[in-house]
Amino acid sequence: MAGTAANRSSRGEVQSLARALDILELLGRSESELGVTEIGPAVGLPNGTAHRLLATLTRRGYARQVGESRKYTLGPKALVLASSAREHLGSLAQPYLEELMEISQESSNLATLDRNAVVYIEQVPAPRMVRMFTEPGNRVPPHATGTGKVLLAYHPEEVVESVIQQTGLVRFTAHTVTDPRRLRRELAAIREQGYAIDSEEMEEGVRCLAAPVFGPDGKILAAMSVSGPAGRLSEARLEELIPHIKRIADEFSRDLQGTA
Q: What's the CA gap between 222 and 4, in Å, rounded?
A: 27
Q: What is the pLDDT along the chain (260 residues), one digit of tens a residue?
A: 444 444 444 455 688 888 998 998 888 777 688 999 999 999 999 999 999 999 999 999 989 998 788 899 988 888 777 666 666 788 889 999 999 999 999 999 999 988 788 999 999 988 775 555 567 778 899 999 999 999 999 998 888 988 898 888 999 999 999 999 999 999 999 999 999 999 999 999 999 999 999 988 788 999 999 999 999 999 999 999 999 999 999 999 999 887 76
Q: Of the CATH numbers 2.60.40.10, 3.40.50.970, 1.10.10.10, 3.40.50.2300, which one belongs to the domain with range 5-74?
A: 1.10.10.10
Under CATH, which number does the domain 80-257 receive? Answer: 3.30.450.40
Burial per residue of 88-97, b for 16 or more beta-carbon CB atoms within 10 angstroms, e otherwise: ebbeebeebb
Give me the numbers of helices (H) and strands (E) for the chain, helices first please.
Answer: 9, 8
Contact 111, 222 (CB under 8 A): yes
- State which amino acid sits at residue 244: H
Q: Where are the domains of the chain?
A: 5-74, 80-257
Q: What's the CA gap between 185 and 206, in Å, rounded?
A: 23
